[in-house]
Amino acid sequence: MIKVAVVGGTGYTGVELLRLLLQHPEVDLSLITSRSEQGIAVADYFPNLRGACELSFSEPNLEQLQQCDLVYFATPNGVAMKSAPALIKAGVKVIDLAADFRFKDQKKWQQWYVEPHACPELLPQAVYGLPEINREAIKSAQLVANPGCYPTSVLLGFLPLLQHDFIEADSLIADCKSGVSGAGRKASINALMCETNENFQAYGVAGHRHLPEIKQGLRGLTDQNIELTFVPHLTPMNRGMHATLYAKIKQSKLKSATLSDDIQAIFEQRYQDETFIDVLPAGSHPETRSVSGVNMCRIAVHRPQDSDTVVILSVIDNLLKGAAGQAVQNMNIMFGWKEQLGLGTIAAIP
Amino acid sequence: MIKVAVVGGTGYTGVELLRLLLQHPEVDLSLITSRSEQGIAVADYFPNLRGACELSFSEPNLEQLQQCDLVYFATPNGVAMKSAPALIKAGVKVIDLAADFRFKDQKKWQQWYVEPHACPELLPQAVYGLPEINREAIKSAQLVANPGCYPTSVLLGFLPLLQHDFIEADSLIADCKSGVSGAGRKASINALMCETNENFQAYGVAGHRHLPEIKQGLRGLTDQNIELTFVPHLTPMNRGMHATLYAKIKQSKLKSATLSDDIQAIFEQRYQDETFIDVLPAGSHPETRSVSGVNMCRIAVHRPQDSDTVVILSVIDNLLKGAAGQAVQNMNIMFGWKEQLGLGTIAAIP
Amino acid sequence: MIKVAVVGGTGYTGVELLRLLLQHPEVDLSLITSRSEQGIAVADYFPNLRGACELSFSEPNLEQLQQCDLVYFATPNGVAMKSAPALIKAGVKVIDLAADFRFKDQKKWQQWYVEPHACPELLPQAVYGLPEINREAIKSAQLVANPGCYPTSVLLGFLPLLQHDFIEADSLIADCKSGVSGAGRKASINALMCETNENFQAYGVAGHRHLPEIKQGLRGLTDQNIELTFVPHLTPMNRGMHATLYAKIKQSKLKSATLSDDIQAIFEQRYQDETFIDVLPAGSHPETRSVSGVNMCRIAVHRPQDSDTVVILSVIDNLLKGAAGQAVQNMNIMFGWKEQLGLGTIAAIP
Amino acid sequence: MIKVAVVGGTGYTGVELLRLLLQHPEVDLSLITSRSEQGIAVADYFPNLRGACELSFSEPNLEQLQQCDLVYFATPNGVAMKSAPALIKAGVKVIDLAADFRFKDQKKWQQWYVEPHACPELLPQAVYGLPEINREAIKSAQLVANPGCYPTSVLLGFLPLLQHDFIEADSLIADCKSGVSGAGRKASINALMCETNENFQAYGVAGHRHLPEIKQGLRGLTDQNIELTFVPHLTPMNRGMHATLYAKIKQSKLKSATLSDDIQAIFEQRYQDETFIDVLPAGSHPETRSVSGVNMCRIAVHRPQDSDTVVILSVIDNLLKGAAGQAVQNMNIMFGWKEQLGLGTIAAIP
């Protein structure tokens, strides 16, 4: 059992993380902080936790946090970077679910999150917590930057073909659809039921903060020049993310008489040992609900009309493999436990 | 470990039951039958079960079923009663999630389900599987009739006040709202997305099949004459059931200076040892999502404007405490295990 | 053509009112005010109005308002009462869609809206704008208080039987379900998609502000003593309101051999000349979607199991017959036009 | 006034067409046929039409249909082609909302709709009813093939840039999202609330029937070779269609210092006289709800990161501009009326 704290547990990522940690056999959840809700019983705030959590939200307190083995930050962007240095110094492991430590280049952070980085000296040691790419580094990391939801679904989809040099990297397209919980749990007109229900729209086409994160990730997968068009959309549901990815197959590969089978095989082989990635049979269409509430990415790959364009369909639950679930997976790796510990894999349908 | 079979696993109750059984530490799920889907891999049919279930649907086969310790029927009404006698004779335990064994009076069955009962001789030994009322009988039962979803939410709401003779039983009102999964997983225009989404309506006001089941249950709780007005409604969501119950407080009780507190105390005391019933603090409004995917009933009780009318709010997930979850709870009791075995209690929000 | 202004057009009631007024053949919409959005083109704010509205939101300006024939207030409670006196004095007609002028008794206002009334002297002349009850008074009114959505659905449901002295008025129950647009268009966590979608719950059971308004309305229909239990619920959809009403039939009426037919006839006769009320055939279940976007109330009446309890099902669109539609209907009456002018009656399905 | 019949009025396209025709000032709707529902009052079948439609569904009767000025077919694919020849011969105008007359090449029909065409001799005179392309031909057409919903949203989006030779036609991508009403009103498990709500998925990636229709339309806009990747998705809402279109800008155009402005201007100029197409300001993201229930296409165009990829966002209501609304627009053109007659343009929000 390790002592774990969650800083900022009042959002959707936060409550999902609490749900997982409260059921995790190796975790003693000893502290949940929230400046705005301090003193309130967590189970009064989130009635789904009644009977499962005795804690109240407390004011963030460095001393108490330093006594933990692991501190999760489920805070807005820009919060973790202010507290992390003292925790790192004290030997505490840190997993940040926000964007603070995702960029290797502090200028990228400043450009997209519009404030200077508070601890650029920690960036070199921060590990981007996508286990399917960085498992070894995560094992020994003290500071893990949990990936964004869009980057997770897009990177896992492009990864096998980029690593096999099968596609042109300079004309990638990621058309992504997210449930509304991605907008967070804060008072905002844009995320109201009556603004999002029975409605579908794109947003942030000019430039979403996950764009540079995805591009940085893609660059780690290939030496090719990366050009990516990324269009996120809001879809009227609570949870779920669907990435529809388009890429041109390299001219040199088009000659294969078994091209579609080759592509399917590349995905199956690349992910055969990954517990949380499920490559569907050729011709499948993954449903977001099939991963709802579980830490899983399901992927299908198509070559419609036998053309030179490959279409990859990748689904995750934005709050699980796209946030809290991946954060628990990272913890399991950091502490040397079985990777699926505390992470169920069967979604409830419907 | 016991050997378990599920007859008819292709509906929403069925897939939810499979999800629970596949994760249950004492269950070896050895057989899932479906006449219409035989030969198809269960995980192809329900992609949420990929990686968790190796079985294919098989044709119902009495011999194989007789080798099980327990057979669940997740079939339409009228199916279990045809197969149950042979299983009972062979010493197999049976839990029927349909209505076949819920009535003590075979005429009621025939009246509401419009066909003669196939094995009225089994009705006396069938136990109505509402553990909060019949736990002792369930322990030694061989044949359990799993309650309907409306009856579960209504009976658990009225129970404490009826048993304490606090309310008039001859003017009860149950205004109930159900998610669409209650309509089952079958091709039907009425349950289409475009017929139910952005729509709310009552149905079956003249007489719903759960009415006589509720009345039979209420009669077991009091010697008073029972009159119940039951109005079910369809609400545009997948899961969840909300019963809003109204009753007149008995004249003799109205004198108490602490009447509202008395009523709250009656609920808290009656259910203090029940794992799956959560009485909320006075003044609360339970949310259906707080029990989504878990075997839980949350109840709040109100006396608005300090009048002589008591309002009870009772929520369950119609597929869990209203069906598959209660069926697993009954199994746990029948086999002497801890009642919460294999039944998580934290709903995922949102 | 009359000159019309809308004060406070940024909410859901406001935009619906704009939609109706922009298409009304006798209305010159000359002013739409909003303190917070002044200067912004209305069609930029509400893209559904692109091409239909050239106005920008302007700062409320008494002089300009006084030049109108009619001013609508689609503002939060407590705003209209501050501006109305000057408009009334200037001879302008006023329709307030908020609660400011709904109570005859200023103490009720103060009790439920928690501030003193700003112009109690206007209350006697204010007409409660439910045309099916007050049509004659509305014709000559200068100041109309547009009813709340719950009161409209409940009063229209109980009206015929109360006026015919058919039911006991001291044990009325109104179990009401509203779409989320009833919560308004303001930044609030409670009305977020992720808080309301796939969820159903009661709220305000202890006392909702529409309770005294309904009771005042009921008192106008009968000399009997009124006791009402009112439980509002939030249902996961944008629009629509369903009132399920319960009442005890008077002992003296129960002897009729044709009681159910009598009750049906009472409804049909009472509403036969009402354009915006549709009494469904006996045994029907009105759907909220059948009135979505139109100024219509559909009602069905049941006597389940031939008992002494009558169940009335009444549906409206909370934004139309429950707000903006009724406000236009009132305008049509006040200006002597055909009552259905500018008000379509066919809902779009699905 | 003209005499109009609707053949097959029981689907979602049918009821929407009825709603429009019943309110159209020049239409005498004299016949609505349905083999399966004959004898049933239309307003009993679709309660939203109560009070607006006195007709009952009748058996299709050639003689009666021949006495009409215009016959709409809102039938499944393959029905209209069997009845149309006799009507055409009798001088009746015909608008088919299904696919029977959309292909110029009868082999395409047979390939994608899997049966021989019943009247290939009519194909040459059938006009593809997309007014923004074929208005002149529609004016004098006797037989109009109303376009599919996906083709409408995609063709209107690509049209301006293809006609201006601004984009490469051999690498077009159309990532489209449709509400569930596109699946029609028929008993089917796939379109159930519990299969589609809280779920998002692609379908038909290998080849959807609208693919050849879109390609045929694109070929009419350019001499370039057409290659299109088309991926349709199902999104959890009743109505609405969002096409996200990707194209490479031609090398020769990239030199312009005002490229983004040029592109915006091309759209604005091309559609400046079109009543039912609304080009949004640069940087906009059209919402499907802004066209819900109205015959409108809203389009925005982006060039993210100033790259060589243009992104076009095009939204329609699949039942209006994607079906029934466009069918009425075509009728208005065929009979020489104002194009917007009977077609409102303000969507109701929310």
What does the mean pLDDT of chain B come to? 97
d(CA B273, CA A303): 58
Q: Taking residues A92-96, what's their average pLDDT?
A: 98
pLDDT of residue A137: 98
How far is residue C313 from each of residues A81, B11, B84, B275, measured CA to CA in Å?
57, 31, 41, 37
pLDDT digits (tens, 9 = 90+) for B82-106: 999 999 999 999 999 999 999 999 9
Strand C70-73: give its sheet, edge to edge: C27-33, C2-7, C70-73, C93-96, C143-145, C127-128
Mind listing the pLDDT tens digit for each residue in C24-72?
999 999 999 999 999 999 999 999 999 999 999 999 999 999 999 999 9
Is the confidence at residue A255, as pLDDT, over 90?
yes
Is a pLDDT exceeding 90 seen at residue B216?
A: yes
Task: Assign B170 to helix, strand or coil.
Answer: helix
Q: What is the spatial distance between Cα B284 and Cα D75, in angstroms, rounded to a whole number?
A: 51
pLDDT tens, residue by residue, C85-123: 999 999 999 999 999 999 999 999 999 999 999 999 999
Choose the catalytic residue: A53, A68, A119, A149. Answer: A149
Name the average pLDDT for chain A.
97
- Please report the pLDDT score of residue A316 as a whole number: 98
ipTM over 0.90: yes
| pLDDT over 90 (residue D256) | yes
The Cα D286–Cα D273 span in angstroms is: 20
The pLDDT, as a whole number, for residue B345 is 86
The answer to whether residue C237 scores a pLDDT higher than 90 is yes
Task: Report residue A58's pLDDT band, with 50, 70 and 90 as the boundaries.
Answer: very high
- The mean per-residue pLDDT over the stretch D108-122 comes to 96
In whole angstroms, what is the distance from residue A233 CA to residue A236 CA?
10
∠ at Cα D77 (D71, D80), nearest 5°? 30
- Fill in the DSSP letter of residue D7: E
Q: Name the residue with tokens 């009746």.
A: D92
Choice among C68, C149, C176, C297 that is catalytic:
C149
Query: Across the interface, which of B237, B302, B305 has its CB nearest the CB of C198?
Result: B237
- Subunit contact B23:A181, Cβ cutoff 8 A: no
Closest in C19, C48, C349 to D48, CB measured = C349
Q: What is the mean pLDDT of residues D62-79?
A: 97
DSSP A133-172: HHHHHHHT-SEEEPPPHHHHHHHHHHHHHHHTT-B-GGGE
Q: What are phi and psi of C146, to 5 degrees?
A: -70, 130
**Measured distance CA(C300)–CA(C314) in Å, rounded:** 7
Helix, strand, or coil (residue A121): helix
Distance from CA of C197 to the nearest CA of A (A): 7
C-beta of residue C144 within 8 angstroms of C-beta of residue C134: no
User: What are chain C's partners, defined as 3 or more CB pairs within 8 angstroms?
Assistant: A, B, D
CA–CA distances in Å: residue A331 to residues A3, A21, C20: 12, 10, 56
Interchain proximity C344–D280, CB inside 8 Å: no
Answer whether residue D345 shows pLDDT above 90. no
Calpha distance A303→A246 (Å, rounded): 10
State how far the Cα of A100 lies from the Cα of A209, in Å rounded to an integer.
12
Task: Give the residue-averaged pLDDT of D81-92.
Answer: 97
CA dist D289 and D238 (Å) reads 11
Summarised one tens digit per residue, pLDDT across range C184-207 is: 999 999 999 999 999 999 999 999
Residue by residue, DSSP assigns C122-184 as GGGG-EE--HHHHHHHHHT-SEEEPPPHHHHHHHHHHHHHHHTT-B-GGGEEEEEEE-GGGG-
d(C-alpha A305, C-alpha C86), whole Å: 71
**Joined tokens for residue A176:** 């992504």
Q: Mean pLDDT over all residues of chain C? A: 97
Which of D344 and A78 is assigned the larger pLDDT? A78
**Type and span of the H or E element at B331:** helix B324-334
* D345 and chain C in contact, CB less than 8 A: yes
Chain B hits for D199, Cβ within 8 Å: none
pLDDT digits (tens, 9 = 90+) for B3-36: 999 999 899 999 999 999 999 999 999 999 999 9
| pLDDT > 90? residue C345 | no
SS3 content of chain D, % helix, strand, coil (to 5): 35, 20, 40
Interatomic CA distance for residues B228 and B347, integer angstroms: 32
The 8-class DSSP code of residue B343 comes to -
Over 90: is that where the pLDDT of D248 sits? yes
Q: What is the per-residue pLDDT across A210-223, written as a single tens digit (0 to 9) for each?
A: 999 999 999 999 99
Check pLDDT > 90 for residue A264. Answer: yes
Res. C289 pLDDT band, cuts 50 70 90: very high
The pLDDT mean for chain D works out to 97
Active-site residue, C149 included: yes
pLDDT score, position C344: 87
Rounded mean pLDDT, B128-156? 98
Chain C, nearest residue to A183 by Cα: C194
D125 CB-near residues (< 8 Å, 6+ apart): D141, D142, D143
D199 with A237: Cβ contact below 8 A: yes
If pLDDT is split at 50, 70 and 90, which confidence band does D331 have? very high
Instruction: Over range A117-129, report the average pLDDT.
Output: 97
Q: List subunits contacting chain A, requiring 3 or more Cβ pairs under 8 Å.
A: B, C, D
Q: Is the pLDDT of residue D344 over 90?
A: no
The verdict on D12 touching B (C-beta cutoff 8 Å) is yes
Span B257-286, pLDDT tens digits: 999 999 999 999 999 999 999 999 999 999
In this prediction, residue B331 carries a pLDDT of: 98
Q: Strand locations in A85-142, DSSP E?
A: 93-96, 127-128
Catalytic residues of D: 149
The pLDDT value recorded for residue A271 is 98
CA distance A69 to C10: 50
Q: Are residues A321 and A178 in contact, defined by beta-carbon separation less than 8 angstroms?
A: no
Measured CA distances, C245 to A138, A200, C156, D297 (Å):
60, 36, 11, 43
CA dist list (Å): C229 to C173, C221, C226: 5, 17, 10
> pLDDT at position A197, please?
98
Q: Measured between CB atoms, which of C179, C229, C240 is closest to B246? A: C229
One-letter amino acid identity for A91? Answer: G
Strand order through the sheet with B241-248: B201-202, B228-234, B172-178, B241-248, B309-316, B297-302, B277-279
For the record, the structure tokens of D227 come out as 């290659």
Share of chain C above pLDDT 70, in %: 100
pLDDT at residue C288 above 90?
Answer: yes
- The per-residue pLDDT for B344 is 87
What is the SS3 assignment for B129?
A: coil
**Is any Cβ of chain A less than 8 angstroms from the Cβ of C296?**
no
Q: Which of C99, C87, C105 is nearest to C142 (CA)?
A: C87
pLDDT digits (tens, 9 = 90+) for C218-230: 999 999 999 999 9
The pLDDT, as a whole number, for residue A342 is 96
Residue A344, pLDDT > 90, answer no
Residues of C in contact with B149 (CB under 8 A): none
CA A179 to chain centre: 14
B302 part of contact set with chain C, CB < 8 Å: yes
Distance separating alpha carbons of residues B85 and B125, to the nearest angstrom = 12
Task: Tell whether A306 is within 8 A of chain C (Cβ).
Answer: no
CA A137 to chain centre: 17
Asked whether the predicted pLDDT for residue A345 surpasses 90, the reply is no
Mean pLDDT of A316-322: 98
B182 close to A (CB below 8 A):
no
Q: In the predicted model, is pLDDT for residue A232 greater than 90?
A: yes
Q: Is the pLDDT of residue D169 over 90?
A: yes
